Amino acid sequence: MDRELALEVVRVTEAAAIASAQWLGRGQKIAADDAATTAMRTMFDSVGCKGTVVIGEGEKDEAPMLYIGEEVGSGSGPEVDIAVDPLEGTNIVANGRANAMAVIAVADRGTLLHAPDMYMEKIAVGPKAAGLVRLDDPIEKTIDIVAKMNNKRVRDLTVIIQDRKRHMDIVERVRAKGARVKLFGDGDVGASIATALPQTGIDLFVGKGGAPEGVISAAALKALGGDMQARLVPHNDEEAERCKEMGLDDPSQTLALHDLVKGDDAIFAATGVSSGELVEGVRFLGGDFTETDSIVMRAKTRTVRYIKAHHHLDHKPHLVVEEE
């Protein structure tokens, strides 16, 4: 991959974010997701790559665009795997809440895990604790390790966990240990990446969430020098067979960061739809002008760029609000 590709994919996330932000707080998550997906797919035509979607909006018969296996890009340039979530946080946008983003991960062909759409256990940390945490370690042991490596007292350590009933036991154990808990609603890509960015104040991410989001997060953590371990959680024989079809003979195996993103290079880009841990949301400045806030990073060079852009919308997206 070349460095210009990193800047090109930001234009793709910007387009998706602007389109979906039109629907912020309108209670229509499907319309918001459709807007993001259409804008992202359209903008991909101008990106200089031969891309194949390995994580997207579903199988070909389930999604009209950005489906798994779809070829995207201009057709010239590096051959790459593409993982997309045009709108990470459809419920967030529908309800006008924080932390919705448009995200993309790009890596050399054949290096992204083709994660099926199922649950995945995950643990993520920043660079100082990289290589030292284990998915199967008791959370109490992990907290001690992360606190020591981050030069923090346990009482000053922050663990971010998705606010779900399945996580209540671990929430109670973290609190009993004396660490702080930060709960979040939807969208665990931003939450896991936050562990590798000191300004967020987040030290450790644990929990069970979507497998595709895990792979996208892994690309960012690779670029930031962080670490992740994961394990797929198939709920039935059909899901277990799906894992095998995607190359995982043992669905219960622990996946290290290099299993999720092979090779030494990956690009991650995100543009905020609503403001959150990583980036600010889209701001409508009046007239035809909008402002976006994005982050893009590349694993090979460990470069992280924050990009604030003003956009003049020559043709406003057509917004149709369904009335009761």
Domains and CATH numbers, the chain: 4-110+265-319 (3.30.540.10), 119-260 (3.40.190.90)
The reply to whether 286 sits in an annotated binding site is no
The reply to whether 280 sits in an annotated binding site is no
The reply to whether 45 sits in an annotated binding site is no
The reply to whether 134 sits in an annotated binding site is no
The reply to whether 33 sits in an annotated binding site is yes
The reply to whether 90 sits in an annotated binding site is yes
The closest of 322, 306, 292, 294 to 19, measured between CA atoms, is 292
The reply to whether 137 sits in an annotated binding site is no
pLDDT at 63: 81
The closest of 188, 183, 182 to 220, measured between CA atoms, is 188
Spatial distance between the Cα atoms of 232 and 122, rounded to a whole number of angstroms: 9
Q: How confident is the model at residue 115 (pLDDT cuts 50, 70, 90)?
A: confident
The reply to whether 67 sits in an annotated binding site is no
Q: How confident is the model at residue 234 (pLDDT cuts 50, 70, 90)?
A: confident
Residue 7's Cβ-side half-sphere holds a number of Cα atoms within 13 Å equal to: 6
The reply to whether 188 sits in an annotated binding site is yes
Please write the tens of the pLDDT for every residue from 266-302. Answer: 999 999 999 988 899 999 998 889 999 999 999 999 9
The reply to whether 165 sits in an annotated binding site is yes
pLDDT at 315: 53
The reply to whether 238 sits in an annotated binding site is no
Length of the chain: 324
The reply to whether 322 sits in an annotated binding site is no
Whether the pLDDT of residue 247 is over 90: the answer is: no
* pTM for this prediction: 0.92
